[in-house]
Amino acid sequence: TTLFRSGESFFSRGLIHSAKSLKGVSMPAFKPLYLPLRAERTLRLLAWRRFRNLAYNEPIFKTYCKSYGVRLRLYDDIPKLYGKLDIHLGDNVGIEGDALFAGGKIYPKPFLRVGDDTYIGYQVRILVADEVSIGRHVLIANRVFFAGHDSRPLDPIRRANNEPPNENGGGAIRVEDYVWIGNSCTILKNVTIGKAAIVAIGSVVTKDVEPFTIVAGNPARVVKRLDEYRHYFEE
C-alpha cells in the first residue's frame, strides 16, 4: 500500500510538472499552413452568418414590421423589441447587432420609421413615445440612444408604482435625410435634426439642430456650418 501511494504521488507530480512545462509552449505561425486555415475560418464564419441572417433572423424580424422594403440587412441578430410599436422600414436598411427598439405606453400608437439606405449601428437604443422618424441615407453610429420619452414619471409615487410618464414626458424625434450621428450620442425627445447635419461623438442633443451644421458637446451646440454643401440639394 505504501509503495502504491508513493508511486501514485510520483506519477501525479510528474503530470503536474509536465503541465507546467506546457504553459510556456506555443506553436509558431507557419504561414503556408495557417494562412489557408485563416482564410477557411473567415469564409466559413461569414457564410454561416449570412445564411443565418438570410434564412432565419431577417424573415423573423420582418414579421414584426408593419412594412419593409427590399434588401433589409441584419448584420448579427434580431433587434430586441419591447412594447407596442409599429415599425416601417424603407429599402436597403442595415441594422447591426444588439439593437433595441421599444414603444412606450404614453401614446396609443407609437411608430418607428426608417428611410431608404439608412444604417443603424451596434447597440443603438430607440425609445419611442409617439414617433421616431429617421430619413434616407442616415448614418447612425454605435451606441446611440434615442430617448423619445422619459421612461419614468417625475412624480415619485407614480415612479415607485412603476407607472409610465404622462404625455409631457414624451415627444417626437425626427432625423432628416443625410444626417450623420456619431458614436455614443443621446438624442432627447422633441428634437429635429436637420438635413445633412452631423452630431459629433458623445453629444447630447436637447434641442433642434439646424440643417447643414455640425453640433458637439453636452448640451450640443453648433461648432461649424456646412453651407458649401447646400448646392447638392438645390432644385
User: Pairing mode, if any, of strands 198-199 and 180-181?
Assistant: parallel
Q: Alpha-carbon distance 119 to 95, whole Å?
A: 6
Q: Alpha-carbon distance 127 to 145, whole Å?
A: 8
For this structure, is 149 an active site residue?
yes
Is there a contact between 226 and 212 (Cβ–Cβ < 8 Å)?
yes
Is there a contact between 210 and 193 (Cβ–Cβ < 8 Å)?
no
Residue 102, strand partner residues:
82, 127
Q: Which of 17, 88, 137, 149 is catalytic?
A: 149
Joined grid coordinates for residue 46: 461569414
Terminal CA-CA length for the chain: 98
Q: Alpha-carbon distance 218 to 215, whole Å?
A: 10
Specify the residue for cell string 432625423. 175
- How many other C-beta atoms lie within 10 A of the C-beta of residue 208? 13
Task: Give catalytic residue positions.
Answer: 149
